[in-house]
Amino acid sequence: VVTAGGTQEPLDPVRHLTNRSSGKMGYALAEAARDRGAKVTLVTAPTALLEPVGVEVVNVHTAQEMLDVVKKAVNRTHALIMAAAVADYRPVKISENKIKKVMPTLTLELEKTPDILGTVKGDFVRVGFAAESQNLIENARRKLRQKQLDLIVANDITVTDSGFGADTDRVVIIDREGKVEKLPLLPKREVADKVLDRVVRLLTKT
Ligand code: CTP
């Protein structure tokens, strides 16, 4: 099970809050896993990418929808790879009507979305992604621990050749033992294969 894209959290009938995730990493992972013979379910928030063939694609918009689909999809999975950029907050209230510009300022009240990796646990390999703009390794390690992940793939989003929207990534893979593998700048498809190599290693170990 692979997730991709940036979730969209509605505000009113014509607006939503989202982020700059392109979905490229998640789609590359889904395609790489498919090419290795895996049965892949790709749970994706909206992207501009073409649906990969040979993969079951489930389209979602919000973090809550992604959680609901992922919960069911992991029933018989060997691995959950959460490459999606899930919104951390959503509007408390979704306005039924379009919000009009009557006030000089507008304050939105936001509430936390459900933490998918924090919630969906089970007997499968769990891989998270960390997009960081500071203290990359320290923050990624904290997420790995907090979400009890097997692996975390950390991305420095301050460099233009890596992260959101780019076709290449310079990532660091950290495992449960705290071992850090720094990869060079690679096309996302090659990063995907490196991540899958590690997943396969974990699966054969168990
Ligand atoms: N994630 C998730 N559910 C959320 C938010 C994030 O499952 N509601 C997953 C992401 O898909 C990613 C990992 O958790 O694999 C880390 O996401 P990130 O947003 O970077 O971490 P947070 O724990 O939300 O921390 P922060 O935003 O404070 O950096």
Rounded to whole angstroms, the Cα distance separating 106 from 124 reads 44
Q: Which residue do the tokens 């989003």 mark?
A: 157
Going from the Cα of 85 to the center of ligand 1, the distance in angstroms, rounded, reads: 7
Residue where the block lists tokens 């510009």: 101
Phi then psi dihedrals of residue 76, to 5 deg: -125, 30
Atom 20 of ligand 1 has which residue's CA nearest to it?
Answer: 130
Tokens matching residue 197 = 């190599």
Beta bridge partners of 12: 15
- Atom 8 in ligand 1: residue holding the nearest Cα: 115
pTM flag (> 0.85): yes
Residue reference for tokens 């990869």: 183
Q: Which atom of ligand 1 is nearest to the CA of 120?
A: 7
Please choose from 17, 69, 121, 143 the residue to mutate so as to test ligand 1's pocket, defined by most ligand atoms within 8 A of CB. Answer: 143
H/E element holding 186?
Answer: strand 186-187
Q: What are phi and psi of 64, to 5 degrees?
A: -65, -45
pLDDT on residue 158: 84
Q: What are phi and psi of 132, to 5 degrees?
A: -125, 150
Please identify, by atom number, the ligand 1 atom nearest to the C-alpha of residue 128. Answer: 15
Tell me, in angstroms, the distance from the centre of ligand 1 to residue 83's CA.
9
pLDDT attached to residue 206: 64
Residue in the structure block whose two tokens are 């609901």 = 68
Q: How far is the CA of 32 from the centre of ligand 1 (A)?
A: 23
Q: Whose CA is nearest to atom 6 of ligand 1?
A: 86
Question: Does the annotation mark 135 as catalytic?
Answer: no
DSSP 8-state symbol, 98: P
pLDDT at 166: 82
Helices (H), the chain: 24-35, 63-73, 116-119, 136-146, 188-205
DSSP string, 105-118: S----EEEPP-HHH
- What is the CA(114)–ligand 1 centre distance, in A? 10
Which residues approach ligand 1 with their CB closer than 6 A? 63, 82, 84, 86, 88, 113, 115-117, 128-131, 143
Q: Quick one: pLDDT at residue 205?
A: 82
- Atom of ligand 1 lying closest to residue 63 CA: 8
Per-residue pLDDT of the chain (206 residues; tens, 9 = 90+): 999 999 999 999 999 999 999 999 999 999 999 999 999 999 999 999 999 999 999 999 999 999 999 999 999 899 999 999 999 999 999 999 999 999 999 999 999 999 999 999 999 999 999 999 899 999 999 999 999 999 999 998 888 776 677 889 999 999 999 999 999 999 999 999 999 999 999 999 86
Strands 9-12 and 15-17, by their bridges, are antiparallel
